[in-house]
Amino acid sequence: MNHVVRRVLAMIPALFGVVLCIFLLTRVLPGDPARTLAGEQADPATVDKIRAEMGLDQPLVAQFISYVRGLFAGDFGFAWHTGQPVLADFVSRLPATVELAIVAILISLLLGVPIGVISATRRDRPVDHASRIFSLIGASMPLFWLALIVIFVFYNKLGWEPAPLGRIAQDVNPPTSITGLYVLDSLLTGDLVALKSSLAHIIWPALCLATGSTAIIARMTRSEMLEVINQDYVRTARSKGLPPAKVILKHALKNAAPVVVTVVGLQFGQLLGGAVITETVFSWPGVGFYVVQSVLATDYAPVQAFTLLAAAIYLTVNLCVDLLNARLDPRIENA
Footprint of another protein (CB under 8 A): 13-14, 17-18, 20-22, 25-26, 29-31, 132, 136-137, 139-145, 148-149, 151-152, 155-156, 219, 223, 226, 269-274, 276-277, 280-281, 291-292, 295-296, 300, 303-304, 306-307, 310-311, 314-315, 331, 334-335
In the complex with another protein, the residue whose CB is nearer, 168 or 287, is: 287
Closer CB to another protein, residue 146 or residue 194?
146
Rounded to the nearest whole angstrom, what is the least distance from the CB of residue 4 to another protein in the complex? 19
Separation in Å, CA 218 to CA 52, 110, 171, 260, 280: 54, 10, 39, 9, 27
The radius of gyration of the chain's CA atoms, rounded to the nearest angstrom, is 24
We find the least distance from the C-beta atom of residue 195 to another protein, in angstroms, to be 26
Contact 74, 87 (CB under 8 A): yes
Rounded to a whole number of angstroms, the minimum distance from the CB of residue 177 to another protein is 27
List the one residue out of 149, 145, 140 whose CA is nearest residue 277.
Answer: 145
Q: What is the DSSP letter of 253?
A: I
CB of 176 to another protein, least distance (A): 32
Least distance CB 18 / another protein (angstroms): 5
Question: 49 or 129: whose CB is closer to another protein?
Answer: 129
CB nearer another protein, residue 29 or residue 45:
29
CB of 83 to another protein, least distance (A): 20
Q: In terms of Cα–Cα distance, which of 177, 155, 264, 152 is closest to 213?
A: 264
Half-sphere CA count of 147, side-chain side, radius 13 A = 25
| Residue 145 vs 233, nearer CB to another protein | 145
Report how far residue 200's alpha carbon sits from residue 160's, in angstroms, rounded to the nearest whole number: 9
Strands 84-85 and 78-79: antiparallel
To the nearest whole angstrom, how small is the minimum distance from the Cβ of residue 158 to another protein? 13
Nearer to another protein, 107 or 303 (CB): 303
Q: What are phi and psi of 156, to 5 degrees?
A: -75, -50
Closest CA to 23 of 301, 264, 243: 301
In the complex with another protein, which residue's Cβ is closer, 208 or 272?
272
Backbone dihedral region for residue 159 (phi beyond 0: left; psi -120 to 50: alpha; all else: beta): left
What is the sign, positive or negative, of the torsion defined by CA atoms of 291, 292, 296, 298? positive
The CB-of-30 to another protein minimum distance in angstroms stands at: 7
Q: Which CB sits closer to another protein, 189 or 307?
A: 307
